[in-house]
């Protein structure tokens, strides 16, 4: 065997070895990539499981908070209906399901939406959905209005399908079964089942099965709805009617001077003394505190507690606040510090408001919503900063013009308040009756 043959064999062998090494590397990399993809998939599933567990934990925490507020009996009723929903879903092989109840205005007899009494499964996505109000222009709304059960084979092509619910929850509705739950011939809720398992679709036979399974639900839902605080258990704010109120917002100008001239403890003490004077006067005239904001406080008259002739009571309160502040300021000046440039500004507005409970389930409070809230704060903010001043809007002036002497505030000084009132007035004097 000559040298060239030997070299050829060696070269061929090396080529084969190289090919084997390359193939081994390829297979190793392929196995590694498969493992990485599997681990990434497992990681994504684990992350989603953690998010779903967090959603369930939040749900349980809110249920416990609601139970403390409303009593365990009402929460126990809801828990029973949650279990019944899961039982029906299992029997009908549904991927998801909900029980809806009507939402009524506080003094109305016509429902203006539907809310979730029960929803399953509870996960990260449905957690976002369960406190939403579903409009009557929807599949469940049609079921509630017509009082008739029906199935929809392809919900995505149905005009009445409320697609926003899918957008919020990330769920993809394929088919649905909608069933009105009646008690004494009155619809008290709607059962909706979504996406029959194994790519099947709901049929009329499923409606017959729901008819047999839903009897236990009807009385439980009716009992639940008759309890005054049932919406609290669901974390839903009662829809209240608009009420007339006078809103007063007051604050201090140049309150930063307190922190410049005094130490922090003394400055905070001065602000608390101011709040104490303001609130003593307000409480004596029937007002309640809506909230404190920095060195300011928002007061409400006539909501939630009735106040006779509340526009006049609010104006009277404003003048008494200014007098009390001026006396307090003299005490501050005697103690020391360059505090002459601190003044009290007050903005007042009259109009329609709604009251509502807001906040995290573990800390909630009553507050007002409506133009008078914004107007009073805006009037306070545009008021002159060089003196104690009271500013009112056009609506309030119409109710108290016989009791006050005013000066028009020029239109070019209204600033952001122009959005809420055409005219504002500085109140100079209160006319005694």
What DSSP state is assigned to residue 239? Answer: B
Cα torsion 265, 266, 271, 277: sign: positive
Run of H or E residues at 392: strand 389-393
Distance CA 348, CA 371 (A): 11
pLDDT of residue 62: 61
Run of H or E residues at 199: none
- The encoded tokens of residue 28 equal 């190793």
Distance CA 363, CA 202 (A): 43
Closest CA to 332 of 251, 273, 250: 273
Contacts of 178 (CB under 8 A, 6+ apart): 139, 140, 142, 143, 149, 150, 151, 152, 190, 191, 192
| Rounded (5°) CA angle 407-413-414 | 90
- Pairing status of strand 344-358 against strand 296-301: unpaired
Closest CA to 172 of 116, 121, 96: 96
- Phi, psi (deg, nearest 5) at residue 355: -100, 150
Pinpoint the alpha helices (H) of 250-393. Answer: 256-261, 264-284, 310-335, 371-382
* pLDDT tens digits in sequence order for the chain, 433 residues long: 567 666 666 666 667 767 777 777 777 777 777 777 776 777 766 666 666 566 556 655 565 555 555 556 777 888 899 999 999 999 999 999 999 999 887 666 788 899 998 998 877 777 778 888 899 999 999 999 999 999 998 887 888 999 888 888 888 899 999 999 999 999 999 999 999 998 899 999 999 999 988 888 999 999 888 887 777 777 776 666 789 999 999 999 988 888 888 889 989 999 999 999 999 999 999 999 999 999 999 999 999 999 999 999 999 999 999 999 999 999 988 887 788 899 999 999 999 998 888 887 778 888 999 999 999 999 999 999 999 999 999 999 999 999 999 999 999 999 888 899 999 999 999 886 6
- Phi, psi (deg, nearest 5) at residue 358: -130, 165
SS3 assignment for 115-183? EEEEEECCCHHHHHHCCCCECCCCHHHHHHHHCCCEEECCHHHCCCCCHHHHHHHCCCCCCEEEEEEEE
> Counting Cβ atoms within 10 Å, is residue 212 exposed (0-12), middle (13-18) or buried (19+)?
exposed
- The encoded tokens of residue 250 equal 């007051």
- Are the CB atoms for 225 and 190 separated by under 8 Å? no
| pTM recorded for the entire structure | 0.60
- The encoded tokens of residue 124 equal 């990260």
Residue intervals of the chain classified under CATH 3.30.70.1230 are 243-430
CATH code of 62-234, in short, is 3.30.450.40
Pinpoint the alpha helices (H) of 214-305. Answer: 215-225, 230-234, 256-261, 264-284
Per CATH, the homologous superfamily of domain 243-430 is Nucleotide cyclase, GGDEF domain (3.30.70.1230)
pLDDT of residue 214: 87
Residue intervals of the chain classified under CATH 3.30.450.40 are 62-234
pLDDT in tens, 189-230: 999 999 999 889 999 999 999 998 888 899 999 988 888 777
Distance CA 338, CA 80 (A): 66
State the number of CA atoms in the 13 A half-sphere of 78 facing the CB: 28
- Are the CB atoms for 176 and 193 separated by under 8 Å? yes
């Amino acid at each position: 065997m000559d040298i060239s043959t030997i070299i050829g064999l060696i070269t061929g062998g090396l080529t084969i070895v190289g090919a084997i090494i390359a193939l081994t590397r390829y297979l190793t990399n392929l196995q590694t990539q498969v493992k990485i993809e599997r681990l990434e998939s497992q990681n994504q599933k684990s992350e989603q499981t953690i998010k779903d567990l967090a959603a369930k934990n939040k749900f349980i925490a809110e249920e416990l908070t609601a139970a403390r507020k409303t009593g365990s009996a009402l929460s126990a009723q809801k828990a029973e209906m949650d279990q019944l929903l899961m039982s029906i879903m299992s029997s009908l092989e549904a991927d998801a399901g909900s029980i809806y109840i009507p939402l009524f205005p506080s003094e109305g007899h016509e429902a203006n939406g539907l809310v979730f009494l029960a929803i399953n499964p509870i996960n990260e996505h449905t957690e976002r959905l369960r406190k939403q109000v579903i409009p009557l222009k929807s599949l469940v709304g049609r079921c509630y209005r017509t009082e008739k059960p029906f199935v929809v084979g392809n919900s995505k092509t149905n005009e009445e399908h409320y697609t926003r619910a899918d957008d919020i929850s990330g769920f993809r509705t394929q088919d649905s079964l909608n069933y009105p739950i009646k008690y004494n011939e009155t619809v008290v809720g709607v059962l909706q089942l979504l996406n029959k398992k194994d790519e099947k679709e709901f049929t009329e036979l499923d409606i017959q099965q729901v008819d047999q399974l839903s009897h236990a639900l009807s009385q439980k839902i009716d009992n639940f709805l008759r309890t005054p605080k049932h919406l609290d258990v669901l974390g839903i704010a009662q829809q209240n009617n608009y009420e007339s109120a006078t809103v007063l917002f007051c604050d201090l100008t140049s309150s930063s001077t307190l922190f410049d001239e005094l130490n922090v403890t003394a400055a905070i003490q001065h602000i608390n003394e101011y709040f104490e004077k303001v609130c003593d006067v307000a409480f004596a005239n029937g007002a309640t505190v809506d909230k404190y904001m920095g060195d300011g406080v928002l007061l409400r008259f006539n909501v939630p507690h009735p106040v006779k002739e509340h526009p006049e009571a609010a104006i009277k309160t404003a003048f008494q606040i200014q007098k009390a502040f001026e006396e307090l300021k003299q005490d501050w000046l005697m103690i020391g510090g360059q505090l002459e440039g601190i003044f009290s500004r007050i903005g007042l507005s009259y109009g329609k408001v709604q009251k509502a409970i807001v906040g995290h389930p573990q800390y909630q409070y009553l507050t007002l919503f409506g133009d008078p809230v914004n107007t009073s704060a805006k009037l306070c903010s545009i008021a002159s900063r060089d003196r104690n001043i009271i500013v009112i809007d056009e609506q309030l002036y119409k109710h108290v013009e016989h009791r006050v002497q005013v000066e028009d505030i020029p239109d070019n000084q209204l600033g952001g308040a122009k959005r809420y009132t055409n005219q504002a007035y500085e109140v100079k004097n209160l006319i005694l009756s």
